[in-house]
Structure 1
Amino acid sequence: MNKLTKRQKEIILLLSKSDDPTSSEWIAKELGISDRTVRNEIKLLQRDIVSSFGLSIKAVRGKGYQLKILDSKKLNEHSLKGVERTNNFDNQNHRVTYILTRLLLAKDFVKLESFLDEMFVSMSTIKNDLKLVRKILKKYNLRLTNRPHYGSKVEGDEYMKRLCLSNSLPIGNQESIILDQTLNFVNETLFLKIKEILIKKVNQFKVEISDISLENLATHIAIACKRIKEGFLIESLCQNKNIPLSEALEN
């Protein structure tokens, strides 16, 4: 069976974002390629590939191209199941959270090209999202450095990285992100065990704590366990501008 190239995946993604026809000129601008290249790629897709993925691309005169999902079952058998419009990466907040988390958890540089395959979005979208990522990092005195041929890496204090990581997760939705296997955030068994222990101790000592604060605390502990295991240690908390634990837990 024919496989899709990275560019073809990007074209299908852009087509999937609208129920209306999308012009080749707009796709070309988004991907930074020529209009002719877009039309040639779509011809190849129409002729040899998309039908095997349960898709079709129809040319609409004077308007552009329109993507149709013909067979969801066939689509779900392939890596293109993310094309469906329920994809979280259609939402910029979800993308920024994903990029930020990936960069903070990475042991080394991360190439921007890797986000194209993981998130199924265009490079122009990634670059726009990185502007927001940098703003968030700046609040924690962290910086995103770029190295040619290597990628991007978050640099700064380890404590601030952990604080940024835990505080950047959406309130009330941390567990779903932490257990997301695509991020390899923390070991699922470990995280659930931490929550179980915390709940048991809270009940035992009749501690008043909200569900959100409890989940935040479990998040901090899980992050600490992962970072310590990977060799990222906090040498001295007193050097971290005396940020109180209450601030960390309040998100």
Structure 2
Amino acid sequence: MTLAIMQPYFLPYIGYMQLMNAVDTFVLYDDVAFINRGWINRNKLLINGQEYLFTVPLKDASQNKRINEVHLADDPKWRSKLLKTIEQGYRKAPYYQTVMPLTEKIINFATDSISDLVHFSLVELNQYLGITTRLIASSSIYNNAELKAQERILDICLQEKATHYINPIGGTELYDKPLFAEAGIKLNFIKANRVEYPQFNRVGNEFIPWLSTLDALMFSDIASVRVMMGEYELV
């Protein structure tokens, strides 16, 4: 069984979806410290031909809290404002009529938890793309928060009886392949290749990469995005 563990990211970029699609079980690491100015509640879209960073507003977010303890801001207007921004940016995109109902369903999901909102969004994206990976929140099952870093990751792998663990490429200095091998677990790191697709037929304009997967969905059919899911290397 192949496993990956990653903090919950809202409407993540294509590399995150590649990792999720590459494994049998994907653990949302939501009972670790919240990271300010990270990707848990932020991502990038293409608005007026430019990269645009949007943020889901939070209430009393702090690195002293775990991700699953962080709540959305009380003001509900952020949802309609974000949807309006997406409408203005993508209404002329070829798959807008298909993707916008999915987007509205995700952003209007009734919760005050950023962790639950991300979990729901990933379930919906997976269903739309035909990804069958099992999603599970680390806060719901493992009871090993006293362990740190590599020890905790390895413990989750053992509890899940994983034989193969795939980590984002940024963890190459943090995880030890021989240690995982001793436990009978193969360790690899995923390196996303850059993918390109038409963005409003931007003739003479440079493609803007690494935006939210929502951008790829607005401009590409499901089959094409499924091909993008395989554009990576394991090292």
Instruction: Give yes or no for TM over 0.5.
Output: no
User: Quick check: which one's strand share is greater?
Assistant: 2
Using CA pairs under 8 Å that are at least 6 residues apart, name the structure with larger relative contact order, 1 or 2: 2
Q: Looking at CA atoms only, which structure, 1 or 2, has the larger radius of gyration?
A: 1
User: Quick check: which one's helix share is greater?
Assistant: 1
TM-score tier (shorter): under 0.3
